[in-house]
Every structure is written in structure tokens, then in C-alpha cells.
Amino acid sequence: MINFIKKNFVILKIIPIVFFLSNCTSTKNNTKISQLSDIEIYSKGLVSLKKGNLSKASEEFDDVFLNYPFSSLSSKSEIMSAYTLYQNNEITKALAKLSSYIEMNPKGELTEYAHYLLAMCYYAQVSSEDRDPGASIKSLNSFKLIITKYPDTNYAKDAKLKIQLLNNTLAKNELNIGKFYLRKGAPASSIKRFKSILQNYQNTSVIPETLYRLSEAFLLIGLKDEAIKSNALLDYNFPNNSWTKLSKKLLINKSELNQKKDNEFSIINYFKDIF
């Protein structure tokens, strides 16, 4: 029965009726019926994709999957449909299709690419460090999964770069929240955010400013010794950074900052304590 349906599948192309109002007559409804194979429909999808007609391409790839579910092109068509949706910025639809594919094909030939495209869909939603970091976290977790499951692929190489960028975005988000608490006169809350950055995002670009802001927060609650240690840590690791130069103005007794070389051991202990 299935073979019969597959062999006799047709696509109906309805030609609209044109009305001629001058004589109140009409033409007949002409229906052109053509039979297309899975390869022909898939090829049409590729042509539409190349021409930039993404919506049409997605529909044509769906036609292969829906009408030839047992075809060797079925899985490829499903992934290609998700890809065209991604390219057309229909992220929600692409995510739903990819999640369904991965669930139904946990070890499929194209599953590793499906994971990568899923991560890229989340990545496409990352717009600003000042907004909800939910998309960044989902994308980060997806890229980490790729590195774990497919470590030797090109997808893993790109995932590592994306992870670094996402860590920077999340670190900036934490830093901005910490600075917000500082402006609102809540240094204790800001300290928690700054310590979280030092613990979770150590290799990001915001570490120098984080150490500077941490010193500010410590001074606001009267912990001058902790502020000195934070400044020393900043000076020791980033001697030529602009935040290091600015940090020296925070403390009245600047000479204390010059003790970093003699107090290297205490700085290392402080770094351990802060974690």
C-alpha cells in the first residue's frame, strides 16, 4: 500500500480562474497534475535555496520529508528545511524541527550537524550583554555538548571559539549587574557578582575591570585590606592595563600597592580564598 501511494503521489498545481467582468463569463478551473520524484523535489529545493527563495525552499524540502518518509533523502531534507528556516531568521521553527530530529535520530548520520545548527540557532538570538542571558546559556551548553560528543570535528573547533565569545558576553552581563548594584549603593551584592566572574569566567576580557570594581566595592564597605589585595592582584596580572592605572587612584596610601612583589605569596592565597 505504501509503495502504491509513493508511486502515485502527485502535486496539484491549481491555476486560478480569471474572471472577465465585461461579459460576466469565466474560464474553467484548469488543474495541472505532475508527478515528481523525491530527487526532483529535493533538487527544486536546492534551486530555490540558491536563488534566495528561502520560504519556498523550506516548503520543498518539507515535501520530500512528508511525502517520501522512507527515501534516502528524507533526513537530508529535514535538516535542509531547518537550515533554510535558520537562514530566514525563523529561529523558533528551526529549533522545533532540529529538536525533533535529534530526539528521533540520536545517532543519525546528520545528528552532529543538527546539534551544531541547534547551537547556532540559540547563538543567533544572543544580541546584547544587557539583556536576558537565557539564549547565551542555552547556546553555551549546546556548544559544550558538541565538544564533548564530537571532539574531533570541525564543529568542535568552531564551538570552542563560540564558547569564548559567549563567556565574554555572560561575563559582561555579570559585570553590568554588579556595577548596577554599586550605583544603587549595594556593594555586598556587587561583590557576589564580581567574585562569580573571577570564578567562572577567568579567561575573559572583563577581568581587569572586575578586579577594579571589586576594590571599589570593598572600599565602600570599609574592607581596605581586601581592596588593597584586589588592586595588587590587578597590578600583578595586568601591569599595563588602563584599569590598573586607574586603580592606583582608589587608595590613599598608594605605596601599599607597590608591595605586590614582596607579597606574591599572600596574593596567591588571596586568589585561592576568593574562590
* 271 domain-assigned: yes
What are the C-alpha distances in Å from 212 to residues 1, 55, 151, 227, 266? 73, 50, 37, 9, 18
- Residue 98's pLDDT is 95
33 located within any domain: no
Does pTM top 0.75 for this prediction? no
The answer to the question of residue 259 being in a domain is yes
Residue 217 is assigned to a structural domain of this protein: yes
Q: Report mean pLDDT in 10-residue bins for the chain, 275 residues.
A: 35 27 33 64 92 92 89 92 95 95 91 96 78 85 95 93 93 93 92 94 92 92 89 88 83 50 47 47
Is 81 within a domain? Answer: no
User: What pLDDT, on a 0 to 100 scale, did the predictor assign at position 93?
Assistant: 95
Question: 19 forms bridges with which residues in the sheet?
Answer: 26
CB-based contact 165:143 (threshold 8 Å): no
Residue 212 is part of which domain span?
A: 206-275
Domain membership flag for residue 117: no
Q: Give SS3 for 116.
A: helix
Inside any domain, residue 268: yes
Residue 251 within any structural domain of the chain: yes
What's residue 196's pLDDT?
Answer: 94
Q: How far apart are CA 275 and CA 93, in angstroms?
A: 41
Specify the number of domains making up the chain: 1
Contact 185, 207 (CB under 8 A): no
What does the pLDDT read at residue 129? 53
